[in-house]
Amino acid sequence: MQQTPPSKDGPRINEDIDVAQVRLVDADGEMVGVVSTKEAIEMAGEV
């Protein structure tokens, strides 16, 4: 299966993320774990 390359350089952020789950790292660099993309975006909004 071939993936479509990102339309811009750099990492995808917020609504540009098109996968169901992401590996979440907190603001201190500590691993939170694998969470849904929606949950990760909501958690980022709380910071």
Supply the pLDDT for residue 40. Answer: 94
Give me the residue label for tokens 């603001």: 27
Supply the pLDDT for residue 5. Answer: 63
b/e map 14-26, b = 16+ CB within 10 Å = eeeeeeeebebee
Supply the pLDDT for residue 30. Answer: 96
* 1-47 tens-digit pLDDT: 676 665 678 888 888 999 999 999 999 999 999 999 999 999 988 87
Supply the pLDDT for residue 31. Answer: 97
Supply the pLDDT for residue 45. Answer: 87
Supply the pLDDT for residue 39. Answer: 95
